[in-house]
């Protein structure tokens, strides 16, 4: 580490991760083989796991410790981010993996689980327990109840037990409320860690660092200097074979309720009192609560949905959404949503925040664009008029994470021509590629008990109330012609009109050359 480098991370100063056992419910499923085990293997390889640990897999399928390990080893060949798999590391890591066969509803299975945990001794491997619920949300309640009844979920002050749960956290406010109530019947809110893997991405955390460690920008971060903000999360892929899931979700539940509102909260929230989890989450919730509620009339004016029809993306033909597998031929589900939101607080009064996400768009990128106000049009009016570009700061979250500042420069020569130019910073060029999977970070934080990167109950529920109000505005209204867009374009015309009303225009993410 050079003298000029100050290492600092969220949760800095916390104790080393204590020995513990991670119990994965859903151990034979896709998430376990694709994400969880590769993440734990890499944490072990990078010497970030506690000095002693166990991983217990729980599912119905018949397996032995040996056969489960063999399956996971084969999965690692496919899903590990580093290849080839290091056999010596795997051998040492996999010796800690055990399988417990059982049904989630069968109390006898939890007695077997308890016996297995007790066989690890009476210390932290039996008492410090991270229950990872890689199962359907409809099963969360029964698991919380059964681990509690088996004496595995309690809070006695010396040890810890936590429940890590995966999205979706409900499909509207009422169902989220029910789910949260089921979880917190047997666990405290502090024991529940809700994962949004997007928050485990390095770059989302970079937003906090960037905002609160740089005086030059934070001073401008308000209605006096900022004209509007655009948040774009575009996806080049269509729904593919996830048509069945997507019919129930749509773009607003799949992306806006969680990822986009999370990014919005981080970009716009007030500085937290500290980087402690509750302080950061308090500010995020405050921000979400400051979003001006939308009536159905507001939704008609401020929210645009869209659905793709057949087109081409990067030269490849793509079917229309209604022709996708498991999609109804007259489906009204949105594959695109754009919204203009206002944040009614002191800092942001009157500043529009434009959010958009969609499938089958020209490229995959996540960007936040902060557009500053124009200069008074005095000195360069004759030459440039309205064309004098406003300054803009773009936070590129993925891919090729970086930050660009756009400002005006004089074109060399005798004429007084002005042109926008760009200063660009790229994380990869500055620091070298750093690509741990989001799940590595999140599992480590969950073991350490740092909830900063996890979503609190009130955060989830506030986000759902925003989404519910938008969905209420769409209720009973089929898509109209100007809400369709060709696959491979940047969305429906209506989304352009949404910004044009205020004299704004979307700035589309550009491919990195
Ligand atoms: N896959 C992903 O990348 C991903 C990403 C984000 C969120 N998620 C969420 O994570 C959760 C798991 O997803 P997944 O893709 O891994 O699902 P999956 O492949 O369908 O796996 C489900 C797991 O649950 C177990 N299970 C189901 N019913 C059970 C029962 N009655 N008793 C014991 N075990 C039971 C299954 O094991 P047996 O059949 O052997 O019993 C299997 O291991 C879901 O809520 C999903 O929405 C997944």
Sheet hosting strand 303-309, strand order edge to edge: 418-426, 402-410, 392-398, 365-372, 226-234, 352-358, 336-342, 303-309, 484-486
pTM: 0.92
At residue 513, the pLDDT reads 63
At residue 344, the pLDDT reads 98
Let me know the angle formed at the C-alpha of 152 by 58 and 175, rounded to the nearest 5 degrees. Answer: 75
Are the beta carbons of 463 and 226 closer than 8 angstroms?
no
Query: Measured in angstroms, how far is the CA atom of residue 425 from the centroid of ligand 1?
Result: 40
- Residues 37-72 as b/e (b if ≥16 CB within 10 A, e otherwise) read bbbbbbbbbeebbbeebbbbbbbeeebeeeebbebb
Atom nearest to 105 CA in ligand 1? 31
Q: Going residue by residue through the chain (513 aa), what tens digit of pLDDT does each one get? A: 343 444 444 444 455 799 999 999 999 999 999 999 999 999 999 999 999 999 999 999 999 999 999 999 999 999 999 999 999 999 999 999 999 999 999 999 999 999 999 999 999 999 999 999 999 999 999 999 999 999 999 866 679 999 999 988 999 999 999 999 999 999 999 999 999 887 777 767 789 899 999 999 989 999 999 999 999 999 999 999 999 999 999 999 999 999 999 999 999 999 999 988 999 999 999 999 999 999 999 999 999 999 999 999 999 999 999 999 999 999 999 999 999 999 999 999 999 999 999 999 999 999 999 999 988 877 776 667 667 889 999 999 888 889 999 999 988 998 878 889 999 999 889 888 777 788 999 999 999 999 998 999 999 999 999 999 999 999 999 999 999 999 999 999 999 999 999 999 999 998 876
Bridge partners for 55 per DSSP: 22, 97
Superfamily (CATH H level) for 20-166: NAD(P)-binding Rossmann-like Domain (3.40.50.720)
Question: Fold for domain 200-370+457-500?
Answer: Dihydrodipicolinate Reductase; domain 2 (3.30.360)
Give residues (CB < 6 A) around ligand 1.
26-31, 34-35, 59-61, 103-105, 134-137, 166-167
Query: Measured in angstroms, how far is the CA atom of residue 258 from the centroid of ligand 1?
Result: 20
Are the beta carbons of 391 and 426 closer than 8 angstroms?
no
Let me know the angle formed at the C-alpha of 400 by 484 and 36, rounded to the nearest 5 degrees. Answer: 85
At residue 400, the pLDDT reads 85
Q: Which of 348, 192, 370 is nearest to 281 (CA)?
A: 192
At residue 382, the pLDDT reads 65
At residue 156, the pLDDT reads 67
Given the residues 154, 197, 259, 482, the one annotated as active site = 259
Give the whole-angstrom CA distance, residue 12 versus residue 108: 41
Q: Does residue 259 have an active-site annotation?
A: yes
Q: Is 117 exposed, middle or buried (0-12, 13-18, 19+ CB in 10 A)?
A: buried
Query: Measured in angstroms, how far is the CA atom of residue 286 from the centroid of ligand 1?
Result: 33
User: What is the SS3 assignment for 505?
Assistant: coil
User: What is the SS3 assignment for 199?
Assistant: helix
Q: Where in the chain are the domains? A: 20-166, 200-370+457-500
């Amino acid at each position: 580490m050079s003298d000029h480098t100050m290492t600092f991370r969220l949760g800095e100063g916390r104790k080393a991760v204590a020995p513990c056992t991670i119990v994965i419910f859903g151990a034979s499923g896709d998430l376990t083989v694709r994400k969880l085990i590769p993440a734990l293997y890499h944490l072990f390889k990078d010497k970030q796991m506690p000095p002693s640990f166990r991983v217990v897999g729980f599912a119905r399928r018949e397996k032995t410790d040996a056969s489960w390990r063999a399956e996971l080893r084969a999965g690692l060949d496919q899903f590990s981010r580093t290849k080839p798999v290091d056999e010596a590391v795997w051998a040492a890591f996999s010796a800690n993996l055990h399988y417990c066969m059982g049904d989630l509803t069968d109390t006898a299975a939890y007695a077997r689980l308890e016996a297995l945990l007790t066989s690890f001794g009476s210390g932290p491997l039996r008492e410090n327990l991270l229950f990872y619920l890689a199962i359907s949300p409809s099963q969360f309640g029964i698991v919380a109840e059964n681990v509690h009844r088996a004496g595995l979920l309690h809070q006695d002050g010396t040890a810890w037990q936590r429940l890590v749960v995966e999205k979706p956290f409900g499909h509207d406010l009422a169902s989220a409320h029910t789910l949260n109530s089921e979880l917190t019947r047997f666990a405290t809110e502090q024991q529940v860690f809700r994962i949004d893997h997007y928050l485990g991405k390095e770059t989302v955390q970079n937003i906090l660092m960037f905002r609160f460690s740089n005086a030059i920008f934070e001073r401008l971060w308000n209605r006096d200097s900022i004209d509007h903000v655009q948040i774009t999360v575009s996806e080049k892929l269509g729904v593919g074979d996830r048509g069945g899931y997507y019919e129930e979700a749509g773009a607003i539940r799949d992306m806006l309720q969680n990822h986009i509102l999370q990014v919005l909260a981080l970009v716009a929230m007030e500085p937290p009192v500290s980087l402690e989890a509750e302080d950061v989450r308090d500010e995020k919730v405050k921000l979400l609560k400051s979003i001006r509620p939308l009536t159905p009339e507001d939704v008609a004016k401020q929210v645009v949905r869209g659905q793709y029809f057949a087109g081409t993306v990067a030269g490849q033909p793509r079917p229309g959404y209604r022709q996708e597998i498991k999609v109804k031929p007259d489906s009204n589900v949105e594959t695109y949503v754009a919204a203009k939101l206002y944040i009614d607080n002191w800092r942001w009064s009157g500043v529009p925040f434009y959010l958009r996400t969609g499938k089958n768009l020209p490229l995959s990128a996540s960007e936040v664009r902060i557009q500053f106000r124009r200069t008074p049009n005095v000195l360069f009016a004759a030459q440039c008029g309205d064309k004098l570009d406003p300054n803009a700061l773009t936070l590129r979250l993925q891919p090729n994470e970086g930050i660009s500042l756009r400002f005006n420069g004089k074109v060399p020569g005798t004429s007084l021509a002005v042109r926008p130019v760009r200063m660009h910073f790229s994380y990869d060029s500055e620091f070298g590629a750093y690509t741990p999977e989001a799940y590595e970070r999140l599992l480590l934080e969950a073991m350490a008990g740092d909830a900063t990167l996890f979503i609190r109950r009130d955060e989830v529920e506030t986000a759902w109330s925003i989404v519910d109000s938008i969905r209420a505005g769409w209720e009973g209204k089929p898509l109209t012609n100007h809400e369709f867009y060709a696959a491979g374009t940047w969305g429906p015309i209506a989304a352009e009109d949404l910004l044009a009303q205020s004299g704004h225009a979307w700035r589309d993410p550009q491919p990195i050359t």
